[in-house]
Amino acid sequence: MVLQNSMKINDIYKWSVEKGIDADPRGRERVEKVLERRREKFEKLSGEEKAEFDRESLYNPYSDTRVLHVADDREIKKALVGIDIEAAEILLAKQLGDIDLVISHHPAGRAYTDLHEVMDVQVDIMNSYGVPVNVAESLMREKMSEVSRSINPRNTWRAVDAAKLLGVNFICLHTVADNHAEKFLREKIEAESFERVEDVLKFLGEIEEYKKAKEMGMGPTMFSGRPENRCGNICVEMTGGTEPPAKLFGSMAQAGIGTIISMHVAEDSKKEAEAARMNIVVTGHMSSDSIGMNFILDDIEKQGVEIVPCSGLIRVSR
Ligand SMILES: [Fe+2]
């Protein structure tokens, strides 16, 4: 796919999906296989089941990345981009007056209700770090169902409703962006051989987004272990919808992981990691999400789209 000089909503969306596949930790070939399996399953559905099926998922492997509302399919010259977009940011776009498109990182609408589906990628990621695939798969299934139930009662369409009422174009780019954060950090970390956790923290602190986050009081920090601890094998966990289940931290330790680098870690996972004597480095949520988004925004910006950051986005051009 080649980027065009004038970009419409669908060009930005499709480009982001392609770029997300390029950075997917499973590799393009495996992603194509997943899509192929999905298409085969779809063909076997009844007419009624087909009608309810999200056909976009036959081409886009990321359930949390979607076009949410097209009010006016015009050329996009200026986009308001944030980590979380709620009705407030939709109103902000309207108030600014010259915004052609609002881009959220975190999903809304159906992309939010279907967020759990994208978590499947974590089975392959954990397997790549040595966790047996059957263990990773079984633990992830439990977590996916838990995430689906926790999202179920939420007001997931609120921002989309606001966009419809105010006539604002609206899309969300979640895992397609997080894949880039994971690839970027994993490649950098694997290229170095850090001995102590403090070396990792120093290295992270030199990345532009984390530098700015530090000034804002939300730089990379340790949740478990001590800076002078040896790292052992390092796992970078940045993509796959949301964080892995707590029990998986024990399995990761058994698989030989000594330090996990994650953008956020829940309390029960922290306890599991501590029990397994694992070091946890939390890079920070908004800053890590920003790294992934910046890789996509750089391309869009080069096509002449002005980016207006809002709602937690730390914009850095590379
Ligand atoms: Fe996030």
Beta strands 279-282 and 221-224 are: antiparallel
Rounded Cα distance, 99 and 68, in Å: 16
Q: Which of 199, 202, 171, 181 is nearest to 264 (CA)?
A: 181
SS3 56: helix
Task: Using the mean position of ligand 1's atoms as its centre, give its distance from the Cα of residue 263 in Å.
Answer: 8
Rounded Cα distance, 213 and 190, in Å: 23
Task: Using the mean position of ligand 1's atoms as its centre, give its distance from the Cα of residue 192 in Å.
Answer: 26
CA distance from start to end of the chain: 21
Task: Using the mean position of ligand 1's atoms as its centre, give its distance from the Cα of residue 13 in Å.
Answer: 18
Q: What per-residue confidence (pLDDT) applies to 2? A: 64
CB contact set of 220 (below 8 Å; sequence gap of 6+): 201, 204, 205, 210, 213, 214, 281, 282, 283, 284
Q: What per-residue confidence (pLDDT) applies to 107? A: 97
Task: Using the mean position of ligand 1's atoms as its centre, give its distance from the Cα of residue 46 in Å.
Answer: 36
CA-to-CA dists, residue 238 to 10, 255, 268, 279, 300, angstroms? 26, 19, 18, 16, 22
Rounded Cα distance, 13 and 318, in Å: 21
Task: Using the mean position of ligand 1's atoms as its centre, give its distance from the Cα of residue 139 in Å.
Answer: 21
Q: Which of 55, 59, 32 is nearest to 42 (CA)?
A: 55
Task: Using the mean position of ligand 1's atoms as its centre, give its distance from the Cα of residue 307 in Å.
Answer: 19
* Signed CA dihedral, 217, 219, 222, 228: sign only: negative
pTM value is 0.95
Task: Using the mean position of ligand 1's atoms as its centre, give its distance from the Cα of residue 296 in Å.
Answer: 15
Task: Using the mean position of ligand 1's atoms as its centre, give its distance from the Cα of residue 264 in Å.
Answer: 8
Q: What per-residue confidence (pLDDT) applies to 245? A: 87
Task: Using the mean position of ligand 1's atoms as its centre, give its distance from the Cα of residue 85 in Å.
Answer: 12
The number of residues in the chain equals: 318
Around Cβ 315, how many Cβ atoms within 10 Å?
A: 18
Q: What per-residue confidence (pLDDT) applies to 278? A: 95
> What is the pLDDT tens value at each position of the chain, 318 positions in all?
666 678 999 999 999 999 999 999 999 999 999 999 999 999 999 999 999 899 999 999 999 999 999 999 999 999 999 999 999 999 999 999 999 999 999 999 999 998 888 898 999 999 999 999 999 999 999 999 999 999 999 999 999 999 999 999 999 999 999 999 999 999 999 999 899 999 999 999 999 999 999 999 999 999 999 999 999 999 999 998 888 889 899 999 999 999 999 999 999 999 999 999 999 999 999 999 999 999 999 999 999 999 999 999 999 999
Contact 63, 176 (CB under 8 A): no
Task: Using the mean position of ligand 1's atoms as its centre, give its distance from the Cα of residue 286 in Å.
Answer: 7
Model confidence pLDDT, tens digit, residues 211-235: 999 999 999 999 999 999 999 999 9
Rounded Cα distance, 298 and 318, in Å: 7
Task: Using the mean position of ligand 1's atoms as its centre, give its distance from the Cα of residue 229 in Å.
Answer: 28
Q: What per-residue confidence (pLDDT) applies to 242? A: 87
Residue 230 DSSP one-character state: B
Rounded Cα distance, 59 and 56, in Å: 6
Contact 68, 9 (CB under 8 A): no
Task: Using the mean position of ligand 1's atoms as its centre, give its distance from the Cα of residue 318 in Å.
Answer: 21
Model confidence pLDDT, tens digit, residues 104-156: 999 999 999 988 888 989 999 999 999 999 999 999 999 999 999 999 999 99
Give the CA dihedral 25, 29, 35, 38, nearest 10 degrees.
-100
Task: Using the mean position of ligand 1's atoms as its centre, give its distance from the Cα of residue 289 in Å.
Answer: 5
Task: Using the mean position of ligand 1's atoms as its centre, give its distance from the Cα of residue 50 in Å.
Answer: 31
Beta bridge partner(s), residue 259: 234, 279
Output the six-digit token pair for 293.
């988004």
